[in-house]
Amino acid sequence: MIEAEGLSKFYGSLPAIRDVSFQVKVGEVVGFLGPNGAGKSTTMRILTCCMPPTAGVARIDGLDCLEQSLAVRQKVGYLPENVPLYLDLPVKRFLRFAASAKGVEARKIEGEIRRVMGICRLEKNAHRIIGHLSKGYRQRVGLAQALLNNPSVLILDEPSIGLDPTQIIEIRRLIGALRDEHTILLSSHILPEVAQICQRVLIINKGQIVATDTPSNLTSQLQKSAHVSLTVKGDPSAVIPHLEGLDGVEKVTGDAARPGRLLVESDRSRDLRPEIARVVVDQGADLLELKLMDMSLEDIFMQLVTEETSQEGAPS
């Protein structure tokens, strides 16, 4: 549904993205992650026909974003990072204008406006001036305009930026409800949000794709050792030497912020939890918690970005 093939974009001699290639299949929800300035917004602008690439090809549903831009725009709903809203217009009048600009048939405009306002829960604000709305409701208006004409593809650039925690949860629920009917490419700095919504992630750094896979597959590829978290009642210092003596244990560390908590790093090929529990009990300590810890999406992101930066700075 979404294809990028060797996309590059230069501003003068400065590359914004270089040889970016990926695919998003029909019905997928894919997170697009990267540090500020990594090339996320540039890639999204190319995919939405807002700017041409310097080299490479972008396609939406097989249509070339450069050669068939009008046809592509009919299939894409775009929510840019800074939502372009007419702040002096009431919500409904703005959506009527946006529907007309998107080519919705005149006889269908009112029904389409009711549909998107229902999805975004804007009915009670239909006649309010957009400039008088909260940031969260302005984001809903921006998302509503992206949904006009029922596009098959949604490209959402930082939809939660600037929102408070309650508003972030609301927008997350809203996007989650859209996943069954749309192919979605979503960029966000809020990694737990991406982990909850997206089936797969693309990670871009310094204008190049450095990883693409499911979070679980990236975890299995990048996590070199197993991590077991345990919490004991009282001082765990007497337990640490015995844990360190277990076959397969590589490292045992304490948590200064949480007394009684230990992190055991061990060989991934073995599950040492039964042996760890036995050691704790044998030493007369009360075991309060024992769980296997996987890398979070934030851990994966930081490791990949840090590795790329280190490799670039290494002497050749």
Domains of the chain (ranges, CATH numbers)? 2-214 (3.40.50.300), 224-293 (3.30.70.100)
pLDDT at 313 over 70: no
pLDDT at 207 over 50: yes
pLDDT at 227 over 80: yes
Beta strands across the sheet bearing 208-213: 76-79, 153-157, 183-187, 29-33, 200-205, 208-213
Q: Give the pLDDT score at 181.
A: 87
Q: Give the pLDDT score at 256.
A: 76
Q: Give the pLDDT score at 9.
A: 95
Residues, the chain: 316
Q: Give the pLDDT score at 260.
A: 86
Query: How much is the average pLDDT of 187-204?
Result: 83
Return the structure tokens found at 81: 């990072």
DSSP assignment of the chain: -EEEEEEEEEETTEEEEEEEEEEE-TT-EEEEE--TTSSHHHHHHHHTTSS--SEEEEEETTEETTTTHHHHHHHEEEE-SS----TTSBHHHHHHHHHHHTT--GGGHHHHHHHHHHHTT-GGGTTSBGGGS-HHHHHHHHHHHHHTT--SEEEEESTTTT--HHHHHHHHHHHHHHTTTSEEEEE-S-HHHHHHH-SEEEEEETTEEEEEE-HHHHHHHH--EEEEEEEESS--TTTHHHHHTSTTEEEEEE-TTSTTEEEEEEETTS--HHHHHHHHHHTTPPEEEEEEEPPPHHHHHHHHHHHHHHHHHS--
Query: How much is the average pLDDT of 16-25?
Result: 94
Confidence of residue 309 (pLDDT cuts 50, 70, 90): low
pLDDT at 315 over 50: no
154: phi then psi, degrees, rounded to nearest 5: -115, 130
Q: Give the pLDDT score at 60.
A: 95
Q: Give the pLDDT score at 316.
A: 38
Confidence of residue 226 (pLDDT cuts 50, 70, 90): confident
pLDDT at 312 over 60: no
pLDDT at 175 over 90: no
Q: Specify whether the CB–CB gap between 29 and 184 falls below 8 A.
A: yes
116: phi then psi, degrees, rounded to nearest 5: -75, -35
Confidence of residue 307 (pLDDT cuts 50, 70, 90): low
Q: Give the pLDDT score at 88.
A: 96
pLDDT at 314 over 50: no
Q: Which residues contact 59 (CB under 8 A, 6 or more apart)?
A: 2, 3, 5, 65
Query: How much is the average pLDDT of 186-191?
Result: 82
- Residue with the bigger pLDDT between 305 and 68: it is 68
